[in-house]
A and B are shown apart, each in its own frame.
Chain A
Amino acid sequence: MAQVILKDVVKNYGDVYAVNHVSLTVEDGEFVALVGPSGCGKTTTLNLVAGLIPMSGGTVSIGDRDVTDLDPKDRDIAMVFQNYALYPQKSVYKNLAFPLQMRKLPKEEIDKRVQAAAKTLDIVHLLERKPRELSGGQQQRVALGRALVREPRAFLMDEPLSNLDAKLRVQMRSEIKRFHQDLNATIIYVTHDQLEAVTMSDKMAVMNGGFLQQYDSPANVFANPVNMFVASFVGSPAMSLVPLTAASKDGRVVLTGPEGWEMPLSDANGRKALSAKSSKVVLGGRHSTIKVHKSQVPGSVPGKVYTVEPTGDVTFAQVFVSGAVVNVSVAPTFQLRPDEPVFLEFDQDRMHLFDGETEMALRLQ
């Protein structure tokens, strides 16, 4: 296993930049999730690491080798594809043996390794079958086996779970995590599902529009999103964002809504709000940090219930505040009705403030 370093990687098609100056380091044995909405450049980035498409600029190194100009076959990596890409005309055994045959290993060695990989993944009984005779989960295992059999320097995975049904996906999620722990493998894992990224990875690289937005541990990305995009992408339900105006009043900083209501900020939050480029400040809050009241309490802001979604353990609700939708959660015993007026109290210590102009998080200097 090895370290993977992307330095200033660019892929453009004319004026369209699919990957825009992305730099990141995946440490040896680390599980990194590349995550973002469709078209954000995550799969393109993975293909650049694999060498499947030529780079427009920058370098990629794996281990201590610069592989920027090497063919995929010489990069010593393995890849698991979204559609598994099992060779349909070959049996499972031959699918697993193919990467070893290509490297001209002796027959006995190939057999030994194929059997070992099959045993690890519990697919020994499937070795003589053709891919089409396997279920989705079994195909997925074979795809993993084909990656694992060669003992590559790094594993690249392109949305490997998105073709599975919900139940199997959860099961395979823990199996891949287990696979990572047992092998101490370096894994770069592409997904559009932020939940997969959060639950599986050591670090997540959030991408949007070809740019790397934030690269940090899931806990840090969750707690300290660098901008409004990351804030609204990570977490389920997403962080709610309410565009407001910051103003100084009687020595305190308050956020005012378009309807005229005011919400005083703590000293620390007040200083953050004033560091914005203009008076436009966006208030961000996760559902777990917002309290719902039926009547006004100091510091709360008025809203109107839009939808109520009981899930059993907890009831989620969407509340309109100054035209923006705010996701909140309440105990199932707390009765809410659509169109009911409520008051939301944001936790001053856990709220997020963003610059309305630059969309970047406001931090204490």
Chain B
Amino acid sequence: MTAMEMSAGAAKRRGAGGWRWSGRIFLLLLLGFTVMPMIWMFITSLKTGFAAMQYPPQWWPAEPTLENYWRLIDPSGNVGRDFIQYFWNSIWVSTLTTILAVVVAVPAAYAFSRFRFPGRNFLFFAVLLRNMFPAVVFLVPLFILMKALGLVNTHGSLILTYLTFGLPLAIWLLKGFYDNIPVQLEQAARIDGATRFQAFLLIVMPLSTPGIIATSIYSFIGAWNEYIYAYTFLTRHDQMTLPVGIQRFFSENATDWPGLMAATFMMSIPVVVLFLVLQRYFVRALTEGAVKH
């Protein structure tokens, strides 16, 4: 190698290093952009109502307090009693939506992935069609439908509605996972003595675990965060889910910012926990080698 080539190589390395650093700075900026609101949410939740309104703002509260959180989880107070109720409502609606979505989506996605039947493409398109419209388009029709079914002011109306969003996405996601599982694995199992169903249960299902987990997370978060339908279909206080329920921190006269922030912080905990617990399986399962391609 000549000296010139060597210096050219060094320049190239330096150049690559420069790119790496600018990449890191960009990521750091992006991280700040996404994390800052959450940090600010947490800081505000530790303030008193007075401190929250001060100008210039306190970057860290002079007298941090957990009072806002105690209020939320104290079942003897008004706020606490309602908040706990909303919380359970949300857990119940989101969990049931997720379970139903997965139970229906797993066989549906498997069928779309493995079988060739008349109308298959049309049906798959029809499944996705629902997700091509903004949610609000269906608000009034669905409300009329729910009213006719006598489901207004029940959690059933929300679960059914969330399934119409969650299910197509779940089917679509899971189909992708099944498409990537070689059909020969099932064929091998069937020759090895399994029925078609056993082959699915013992071989394919375990391999699609990451897909099922990803699908569950998506559908849970979708249901957990949903606001507009919950706001429209439910009028009774004891039925409300968290996104609607925490509206009560806004009032005509003043907004209880620290209370609101504490509630939203609490609301984000289940989702974060879900992600942290499941991501381990998620990553492990994704890196599992299946067959030689």
Contact = CB atoms under 8 A, between A and B. Distances in A.
Interface of A: 47, 50, 52, 71-73, 75, 77-79, 81-89, 98-99, 102-103, 131-132, 136, 139, 146, 150, 163
Given A73-B194, A131-B291, 11 more contacts: A52-B190, A72-B190, A78-B192, A81-B187, A83-B291, A83-B293, A85-B184, A89-B288, A102-B192, A131-B289, A150-B192
Interface string B110-136: 000000000000000000000000000
B193 A85 contact: no
B15 to A, nearest CB: 37
Nearest to B116: A13
A50 B187 contact: yes
A136 B292 contact: yes
B179 to A, nearest CB: 15
Given A72-B190, A98-B189, A85 B291 contact: yes
Nearest to B285: A89
Q: Which 7 A-B pairs have the closest CB atoms?
A: A102-B193, A132-B289, A99-B192, A85-B184, A85-B188, A72-B190, A83-B291
Contacts of B198: 102
Contacts of A79: 187-188, 191
B207 A99 contact: no
Nearest to A89: B206
Interface in B171-212: 182, 184-185, 187-196, 198, 203, 206-207
Contacts of A78: 191-192
Contact of A73 (B190, B206, B291): B190
Contacts of A136: 292
Interface of B: 182, 184-185, 187-196, 198, 203, 206-207, 288-293
Contacts of B192: 73, 78, 98-99, 102, 146, 150
Contacts of B206: 89
A219 B52 CA distance: 93
Nearest to A53: B187
A79 B291 CA distance: 16
A297 B155 CA distance: 97
A71 to B, nearest CB: 7
B191 A72 contact: yes
B232 to A, nearest CB: 45
A84 B185 CA distance: 9
B187 A85 contact: yes
A52 B187 CA distance: 7
Contacts of B193: 73, 99, 102-103
B185 A85 contact: yes
A163 B293 CA distance: 9
Nearest to A83: B291
A139 B288 contact: no
Nearest to B290: A88
Contacts of A98: 189, 192
Contacts of B182: 83, 85
26 contacts: A47-B187, A50-B187, A50-B191, A71-B190, A71-B196, A72-B187, A72-B190, A73-B191, A73-B193, A73-B194, A78-B192, A79-B187, A82-B184, A83-B293, A84-B292, A85-B184, A85-B291, A86-B291, A88-B288, A88-B290, A98-B189, A102-B189, A102-B192, A102-B198, A103-B193, A132-B288
B190 A139 contact: no
B88 to A, nearest CB: 36
A76 B292 CA distance: 26
Contact of A84 (B189, B288, B291): B291
A84 B291 CA distance: 7
B243 to A, nearest CB: 39
Nearest to A146: B192
B292 to A, nearest CB: 5
B194 A102 contact: yes
Nearest to A13: B116
A131 B289 CA distance: 8
Contacts of A102: 189, 192-194, 198
A86 to B, nearest CB: 7
A240 B207 CA distance: 50
Nearest to A87: B203
A102 B191 CA distance: 10
Nearest to B194: A102
B292 A88 contact: no
A350 B203 CA distance: 55
Most buried by A among B185, B198, B292: B292
Contacts of B195: 71, 73
Most buried by B among A78, A86, A136: A86
A259 to B, nearest CB: 51
A78 B291 CA distance: 18
Nearest to A140: B292
Contact of B292 (A47, A72, A103, A163): A163
A139 B191 contact: no
Contacts of A163: 292
B182 to A, nearest CB: 6
Contacts of B189: 87, 98, 102
A68 to B, nearest CB: 16
B188 A139 contact: no
A151 to B, nearest CB: 13
Most buried by B among A82, A85, A163: A85
B89 to A, nearest CB: 38
A81 B203 contact: no
A139 B293 CA distance: 13
Contacts of B187: 47, 50, 52, 72, 79, 81, 85
B13 to A, nearest CB: 34
